[in-house]
Amino acid sequence: MKLKKIFAGMAASAIAMSAFAMGSAPAASADATVTGNAGITFQTDGSWNYRDITNTAGDHAVFPQKEVGVQGGAYGFDTNVDCGDTAINGSGTYTVSIPTSGKINTEPDLNKPANKKAWFVDDEQTLTRMDSPWSMMHNYEPGTSDGSEEITAENLVWNKGDVEAEKFNMLDVSTDIPAYYDKENHKCYLDEALTQEVTVTDVTVDIPGAGTFTGDAGCWKDDVDTLCISLINVYDDTGASNTIDGSAFPSEDGTITVTFTINFPEDSSNSEDSKESGTESNESGTESGNSSASSSSSSSSSKGGNGGGGGNGGSGNGGGTTKNTSTSESLADSASDATENAESGAPAGIALALAAVAGAVFVVSRKK
């Protein structure tokens, strides 16, 4: 009767250990994949059409909104821009695009006197620029189809204006990926410790009428700490500007296309936040591993014993950078095996439970 109670207690302990191992099994991958979104942002010199980088102050034409502000927004906004933005999912080659022209379909902020004056095309302020075309290269001004001086809704036409843009003040690929910047070395990183460098290579920029430009691109972070890829930027003082020819500018309407290869660190999960999270997880695993070690010392030399599958190999090293130094070398071997086989974390826990049950049977048989 006494032996049955001992065996039952050990069996219950083994089942509890199995449940712990199954509940703490880590994900199969040890490295996190950097994800986000990217799209072309720009500002033309002279015509002042723009799409701002992410999180720039303003209600319109800020990435990822697919909008363009025309004449600095004084002429209104095009909110139907066919921006070819892309989702970023780890290192790889991506393509983004933006048209060089469109049509105004949203009015500007009329509380600004300059915008109000520019928005209306007649002194009576009854006709507006709604449905007016826009282009990166120049502005459009109202005219009459019948040659009369008075513009009416019936004779209004839009003609190419005398404001010509000849260059970009800014042509970038904006993202919403958090980043840090080393101004001294002109390099961008995923972590504040500046160890996880991001690089962009094999850049191809197609500009209608101007041709194709290739090279590598500099990375920088904007004022809100998100990663930007610099192609042309006269405002950028980080040293990453003018990756392509600064005079590159459309000579005809069409679509600007940028293809680039972005390279993230192999272990992009190794940020300070991930380290802290991993360390906490490791400490939890250490406590469980040590607790299991003290209760099942009879099997400490076998792999998977002493809670190695659930303590060290489960939540213990699943993303942490510190090591459990309070267990034996056999536990380190066990943790290594469990980490390499992270996908089978739950089966490893079941195997650990079976080992404990076997130990219980062995003890009972010896006492007979």
If one counts every other C-beta atom within 10 angstroms of the C-beta of residue 277, the result is 15
Q: Which residue type occupies 365?
A: S
> pTM value?
0.65
**Local confidence band at 245 (pLDDT 50, 70, 90 cut-offs):** confident
Question: Considering only 81-85, 170-174, 291-295, which range has the smallest mean pLDDT?
Answer: 291-295
The answer to whether 355 and 305 are in contact (CB under 8 A) is: yes
Q: Which residue type occupies 120?
A: F
- Residue 148: per-residue pLDDT: 92
Q: How far apart, in whole angstroms, are the C-alpha atoms of residue 157 and residue 133?
A: 10
Q: How far apart, in whole angstroms, are the C-alpha atoms of residue 196 and residue 200?
A: 14
Highest mean pLDDT pick, 141-145, 314-318, 327-331: 141-145
State yes or no: pLDDT of 307 exceeds 60.
no
Say how many CA atoms lie within 13 Å of 193 toward its Cβ: 9
pLDDT digits (tens, 9 = 90+) for 91-141: 999 999 999 999 999 999 999 999 999 999 988 899 999 999 999 999 999
The answer to whether 125 and 85 are in contact (CB under 8 A) is: no
Question: Considering only 29-33, 318-322, 362-366, which range has the smallest mean pLDDT?
Answer: 318-322
State yes or no: pLDDT of 272 exceeds 60.
no
State yes or no: pLDDT of 358 exceeds 50.
no
Q: How far apart, in whole angstroms, are the C-alpha atoms of residue 37 and residue 203?
A: 17
The answer to whether 67 and 98 are in contact (CB under 8 A) is: no
Triad 295, 322, 276: Cα angle to 5°: 110
pLDDT digits (tens, 9 = 90+) for 182-199: 988 889 999 999 999 999
Domain ranges of the chain: 2-31+270-367, 35-263
**Local confidence band at 49 (pLDDT 50, 70, 90 cut-offs):** very high
